[in-house]
Amino acid sequence: MYKSLGILGFLFVSFNTFLQAQEIIKAEDPVTKFAGYHVGVVQILFGVHKSELSALDKSDFYSIGFPMGLTFNTGCKLKIDFEIVPVVKPYLQEETPYKVHLLYHPGILVPLNKNFTFGLRLAFEAGENQFGFTPLLNKSFALGKRSNFFIELVAPIRFAKNQAFNQLIGIHLGLGL
């Protein structure tokens, strides 16, 4: 428990230092509150639980999520994003064909140079009794004046009662409008 709090404290201090280094200042021009929305697909590639590495090639590890989110401007460089992710886990060898749970994933996003974005999300997994956070690094590519394609590296960290934490690595592909 104390180790988890230490990790969270370290990340909070690191992120606070990062925000100060980025010189987030008030925008001079009035900005609309609604920045846009996004839809996509997220695939966890591998994870570590109790020093055991699991990869996408194991059928009991496989799951896929479908993120949907709304993004809002704050009047400065920082953006607030509200995302929900239905996650589907198929069971190939069991009587139950699949399980679905919902991830509530609010977060903050900090646009960087060259269409990169750094983000940090809280994570509440209804149906899995897990909570945690998800750091992310996003790169977007313009598809037109108002839309873009993005690829995002996500590194979810999850905690559950009476269990060691899980560290995952995944890829999120999506469209932003």
In the structure, what pLDDT confidence band is assigned to residue 26 with cuts at 50, 70 and 90?
very low
Q: What is the DSSP string of the chain?
A: -HHHHHHHHHHHHHHHHHHHHTT--B-SS---SEEEEEEEEEEEEEEEETTEEEETTSTTT--EE--EEEEEE-SBS-EEEEEEEEEEEE-SSSSS-EEEEEEE--EEEEE-STTEEEEEEEEEEETTTEEEEEEEEEEEEESSSS-EEEEEEE--EEEETTS--EEEEEEEEEEE-
pLDDT at residue 1, rounded to an integer: 46
| Cβ–Cβ under 8 Å, residues 162 and 26 | no
Q: Which CATH number fits the domain that encloses residue 123?
A: 2.40.160.20
Domain ranges, residue 130: 2-176
pLDDT at residue 6, rounded to an integer: 54
Q: Long-range CB contacts (< 8 A, 24+ apart) of 115-123?
A: 115/139, 115/140, 115/141, 115/142, 115/148, 118/18, 119/81, 120/11, 120/15, 121/81, 121/83, 123/156, 123/158
pLDDT at residue 125, rounded to an integer: 92
pLDDT at residue 149, rounded to an integer: 97
Which burial class, exposed, middle or buried, applies to 144 when counting CB atoms under 10 A from its CB (0-12, 13-18, 19+)?
Answer: exposed
For 133, other C-beta atoms within 10 Å of its C-beta total 19
pLDDT at residue 62, rounded to an integer: 81
> What is the number of domains present in the chain?
1
pLDDT mean across residues, the chain:
83
Instruction: Out of 10-24, 26-40, 142-156, 163-177, pick the least confident.
Output: 10-24
> Does pLDDT of 123 surpass 80?
yes
In the structure, what pLDDT confidence band is assigned to residue 88 with cuts at 50, 70 and 90?
very high
| Cβ–Cβ under 8 Å, residues 166 and 154 | no
In the structure, what pLDDT confidence band is assigned to residue 67 with cuts at 50, 70 and 90?
very high
Instruction: Out of 13-22, 105-114, 128-137, pick the least confident.
Output: 13-22
In the predicted model, what is the mean pLDDT of residues 86-92?
86
In the predicted model, what is the mean pLDDT of residues 32-53?
88
